[in-house]
Structures are given as C-alpha cells and as structure tokens.
Structure 1
Amino acid sequence: MTVHAVLPGDVDTVPSGGNVYDRRVLDGLGTLGVTVVAHRLPGPWPDGEAAAVGRVLAEVPDGGPVLLDGLVACGEPTAPAEHADRLRLVVLVHAPLADEVGLLPAAARDRDDRERAALRCAAAVVTTSRWTADRIVDRHGLDPARVVVATPGVDPAQVSPGSAVTGGPPRLLCLGALTPTKGQDVLVEALARVADRPWTATLAGPTGRDPGFVVGLRAAIARHGLAGRVTVPGPLTGRALDATWAAADLLVLPSRAETFGMVVAEALARGVPVVAARVGGVGEAMGPQGPIPGTWVPPENVPALAAALWRWLGDPVLRSGWRLSALARRSTLEPWSSPSVRIARVLDAPGRQR
C-alpha cells in the first residue's frame, strides 16, 4: 500500500506534540511495509492555501489512501471536498481547531466551520484521544463509526534519577510550547507562592508561536524575583532534552486545554510523577487504573496549583508515593507501534465509510 501524507511544513523542525506524533506514525507505517509519500506544505496552518493542498491531492491516483494532518485538512477544506469522491481521505485530528485559547469568537466560529466541512467529507477520522473523538462527534454530528482513536505511544526510557543524584533542590519541569493554551503563566504565579521552598524549574518549549505571551512570561518571572530559579531555554531536543528529563523530579502540566498530553506519558515512562490541570484527555495519559501518579488541579487555579506544589515540596512521604505510582505506570504504556497499526488499518479499509 502507498499512502500520501499531507503535513504542515514545519513537521520536521518544530518539536510540537502534533509534529512528533505525525513523524512517529509515518515511521511506524514504513516499518509495517507501507510506502509513505510525504508532502510538507508551507503554512502557516491552519490558515494555508487551498491551491497547495489541491495540487497534492490531484496527483494521487483514484482510490488512493491519503492521510491529512488536521491542521491542513481542516484549515482549508475546499480541496479535500473536491477530491473526496475519488480518494480515501483520512483526517488526523490532534485537537479541535476552535479550542485554541485566545481566539476571538469570530475566528473560533470560522475554524469550527472549516473543521466541520473537512471532517464530514472524509472517509474516516483519526483522533489521538477518546476525549477528542467524543468532542468532534458531538460538535460536528459525525458518525461515531467513522472516528477511530489512536492514542500516542511512548518510547521506553531510563528512569530519571532527578535531584537525588546531585543532592540539589527538587527540579520541576514544564515541557510544551510557550502559549496561553499550555498555561505557563499560571505556573509562574504558583511558583511565586512557594518561593520560600527550595526548588528550581525549567519551562522548555518553542517560544515563537506567541512572542507576546513569552515576553509577558519573562516579565512575570523577573517581577517575582524568580530569574535565578526559573529557566526558559526554548525548545529542547536530543541530548539536551534527555539531560533535562534525567534531572526532573516532577512534571507540571498547567494547560488550559489539552487533548491527550503526550508529555505526561513521556514523564511516566521515566518514572517522573505529574501535577496536571484536569482538562481534555489528560486523564487518558495519566492512566485509567491504579493510584494516580501525581495529582490533579483545576485549570487556571493558581492557589490550587501552589497548594499541590507546596504539599509535594514539603512531604517526603507524598513524593515517594507519587514516584512509586509513576514507576508502576511505566509497564502499562503503549509503544509507538500501536497508533501506526491502528491508522494503517483505517487507511487500508475499503470504501469511504460515509
């Protein structure tokens, strides 16, 4: 089987969760014997040009399976609609487009309309969490039989020793693009409330998506006198990312919206417990059974997040319990081959399933 994959142009350069998922799934399809022809389209997405998508789809032979990243397909649904009757179009939805934090109401409605048009003309839709699947079925009136969940996988990893090796203060990690959606501003305000406890924190991730937010975040760090304890290194990859994980004692995910939370699975693969805002599909990443490997806090609730951090920082027994729960969760995590197998079945299914 030959599959054409239509992707945002930054899929290989920006270390976002969606881009990582796309790359790992395509690698997995190749391992399964699928020939993948990748088409990387310059953006910005979800506001790119229909002509670029149309040119790619026009080259695909009749009946050919096409996997479209949701940013591309839902950002410009005109071209997919024109080719829906002759191709097997499968749209991969990482997150509902209108759920991005900070959108004006008119922009959110426009994105919602475009997403609905794209998903209704697709032969099948793949989502990265059950929460996302339920949300788009309800929002867009989709047939649930056409929506398949393929949750992200995770690579096996060494247990992170954290600060136990150095004897230094506990190290907190917040990993994700610096945007209002990820809520790093909430974390900085919470950290200011526990400044009398020993700790250091790293807020790592791409800084170019909302430069104004990053400027405000750095200003808040300085205003609270945390510049010596909170670092904002930008995106981390390779050895730098591995070293950051190895140093981490706790992952903090203060997101205002989240469809799954791949970083949660990455933390648990290393035995690192998690404090997370209870939003979207994060519960699926934390695990449906057994003791929670950390704790939940309400989204955008600075006092609650500060209280959770205060308890963890001051209670060695609590820290040990969370750590043991995180270590227990490691053996239950799915490998990256799992979503590739599910998506391969969807791409290879006959007909449009409409």
Structure 2
Amino acid sequence: MPGAGGGSVRTREVNRRLAAKGFHITVLTTRYPGWQERVEDGVHYVPIGFGRGANRLTRLLAYVAKLPYEVARRRSPTELVVEDFFAPFSTMAAPLWTRRPTIGIVQWLHAAEKGRQYKLPLHWIERLGVRTHSRLISVSEGISERLKEVNPDLHVDVIGNGVDPGIGEIGPNLGQDVLFLGRLEVGHKGLDLLVQAWADIRCRIDGKLLIAGTGPDEERLRASIEAAGLSDSVEMLGWLAGDAKFRALSNARLLVVPSRHETFGLVAIDALAAGTPVVAFDIPCLREIIPPGAGWLVEAFDVKAFADQVVRSYASNGLKEVATQGRKFAAGYSWDALAGMQAEAYCTALAELRKPQSQRPRARNDMKA
C-alpha cells in the first residue's frame, strides 16, 4: 500500500527473492484505495476485505473478519502458513485455526502502546497470541528477548532487514538539511518530540527540517508545525520511493529518528548505507543498528538532549568519517543473504512442525543476522 512502512518493504524484498528461488507465495493483505489482485515479482498478492478499503478501521475489521476464511480456501495446496504480525494487536493466534504448519514473523510488537492509546487491552491479545506459536522469526535481538519473556518455549530465529543495493550507488553529499523519513504516526515515530526539538534548534543550524512520508497523522503533524511557528523551517516532502528516496537520504546532513519504539528501524540502516549519520533515541532495537562511530544515540525521550545532539552533530568536523563508518556497517545487511536465511528458516520450520509435539527439539534462539 502506498505509504506503508518498513515492514511492508521487508515483506516485498524477501518474498520476491524467495519466489526467484522457486517458492510459491501468496500474500493476503488488506484492501486499500486502488487495490488490485496481482502477481508482482513472482508473488501473488490478494487484498482481502470489503469494498475499496478507504477507511483504516473498516479496512482492518474486514481483514480480520475474512482472514480465517481466506486461509481456509487456500488450505489444500498450502504447506506453510506465515503470520506476519500487524497492528494493533500483533497476532491473531494463527496456529489455532490455520490447520497447517504455521510460523510467525515479528516486525511489529507494540500492542501495549496501542492499548494505552485506544484504552483497550490489546497487549493481552498479543501475549495470548504469542503463546500459541512455537516458532517465530524476529527482526531484532531486542524483540526476540521480549518474545521469549512471554513464551519461554519459543524457538526464535533472528533475521534482520536489508538495504536496497541502489542506495550504495549514490555517494554521500552531507548537505544542509536534516531529514526525517518514515510513516507519519505521531506517537509511534515520536514526531511530537521532533517538533519540540526543532523549535529549540531551528535558529542554531543553517538547514531546514525535511519530513518525508505519509501516514494517518499527517494533518495533525502539519497543524502542530504551524502552531509552533515552524512552517518556514520545515518542509513536507510527501511519500518518497526509489531514486527519490535515495537522493533525499544522500543529500541530508543528518537523519533524525525520534521513535518511541521500533522493531528494527529500517530507515536508520538505509541512512547509514547512504553515508548519512543518524541521531536517534537510545531504544533497544535502534541500539543494535547504530553502532558507535556511525551515529549518535541520546537518552530515550530527552528532547533537550536530542536537540543539543543534533546541533553538535550538524556542526561536527568529523561527519565524513562517521559517514564512512556507517557505510561499512550497513554493507553487512544484504537482502539476498537475509532472504536465504529466511528460506532456510521456513524449510526447517516446516520439517519440525510436521513432527508430533513430543519429537520437536527444545526451544532455542538460532540463525542470528
């Protein structure tokens, strides 16, 4: 769906590589305006629901209501069901109703935060759903640890996200502007914190704050920028993809990631690959992909410290060295290699899940990358 986040990028990049290896993959996804059932890069995409899918809530409810039926329709030729965790409650406890070997992919595990936002017990749904799984793929060590706290019997393969090779073909320019790139969700992505920080520093640096992306809180964000008197120093770029995204990353002086929570942080690793240093809050998953020397981590949610670090980093004489370190680190995140690991995880899961419960090996963490 246009405007979808890093989880959708991962799904597309991995699945098209698995299709090239001979896997037959059908993706059941939500409907959205302009949706169509199609085969793209060898992957069969089937948007399910009712109508055009123009409304977020009805789109979600229709997907949840129809998913078990649509899985049942395809049960006969299906060998392995992959449940990709999604907002707002992560998992529908798919192993209970698929009647096929089922593995989960955890790119989203934020039901507690959504529960507080909507005042609903969504985290209990998440916890109960995680306990129905025996094998999961997590995109980070931090999420793996959280999953094991909920279900100690889980086998978790940690397989991260990759970098589009096209990013590395555009050299770093270290321009004048500071960039945010991502889905426009104020609470999740910390955009309210970013607006507060930018109000503090807009007169202390030369460039503008560029905000690239779309999302459900776009109008709210625009209103907060205007209310803070920042319209002259903030530019909204809309949704960027492909070369336009690569150029925006390459031309930025810094990428800022003010997220309150992430499962991986794909945009951060993309920025490092482009040679753009990153300033982010020190939260578990970002800690894994922003090593010392390639960016800066700030005490979580300390807006003043975040603002001050942006100013220091912006004026640093060592940005070229930081950019070089970031590109070296990001070179290890190859979609081809990660897709191969996911193929291995699928084949192993299929073999193990076909065994009686008593013959399955004890849970462990494996295949980390």
TM-score under structure 1 normalisation? 0.82
Contact 2:134 2:153 in 1 (8 A): no
Q: For residues 333 and 195 of structure 2, what CA distance do their matches in structure 1 show?
A: 32
The residue that corresponds to 1:5 in the other structure is none
C-alpha distance after superposition, 1:197-216 (max 9, x if no partner): 21112111123x235xx42x
Kindly provide the amino acid, as one letter, of the partner of residue 253 in structure 2: D
98-107 or 183-192, larger mean C-alpha shift: 98-107
2: distance between equivalents of 1:91 and 1:283? 24
Over the matched positions of the two proteins, sequence identity in percent amounts to 27
* Corresponding position of 2:127: 116
Residue among 269, 286, 289 paired with 2:290? 286
CA distance in 1, matches of 2:114, 2:142: 18
Q: Distance in 1 between matches of 2:345 and 2:68?
A: 22
Residue 114 of structure 2 is aligned to residue 90 of structure 1:
no
Query: Hey, what does 2:86 align to over in structure 1?
Result: 71
Q: Compared with structure 1, are the counterparts of its residues 99 and 269 closer, same or farther at alpha carbon in structure 2 (3 Å cutoff)?
A: farther
Partners of 1:46 and 1:118 in 2: how far apart? 17
Matched, 1:16 2:5: yes
Give CA-to-partner distance per residue, 1:68-91, whole Å, 9 cap, x none.
Answer: 2112896562664123xx311111
Equivalent in 147, 158, 181 of residue 136 of structure 1: 147
Q: Give the aligned partner of residue 162 of structure 1.
A: 173
- Would you say the 8 A contact 1:65–1:348 is kept in 2? no
- Does the CA-based 8 Å contact 2:130-2:151 persist in structure 1? no
Q: Tell me whether 1:27 sits opposite 2:16 in the alignment.
A: yes
- 5+ unaligned residues in a row in structure 1: which ranges? 1-9, 165-169
Deviation at 1:102, TM superposition (A): 7.2
2:66 is aligned to 52
Cα pair 1:88 1:347 within 8 Å, conserved: no
- Normalising by structure 2, report the TM-score: 0.79
Indicate which of 204, 224, 240 corresponds to 2:212.
Answer: 204
Distance 1:263 1:37 in 2: 26
Q: Which residue of 2 aligns with 1:344?
A: 343
Aligned residues: 323
Deviations 1:267-287 (A, max 9, x none): 111111100111131122224
Mark the runs of 5 or more structure 2 residues left unpaired by the alignment: 30-47, 50-55, 354-359, 364-369
1:142/1:272 CA distance change after superposition, 3 Å:
same
Q: How far did 1:254 drift?
A: 0.7
Q: Identify if the C-alpha distance between structure 1 residues 161 and 89 changes in structure 2 by more than 3 Å, giving closer, same or farther.
A: same
SS of alignment partner, residue 28 of structure 2: strand
Give 1:99 shift. Answer: 4.1
Matched, 1:334 2:333: yes
- Confirm or deny: 8 A CA contact 2:255 2:271 kept in the other structure: yes
Aligned position for 2:181: 175
Question: What is the aligned-residue RMSD (CA, Å)?
Answer: 2.6
Shift of 1:305: 1.0
The change in CA–CA distance for 1:48 and 1:89 in structure 2 (over 3 A counts) is farther
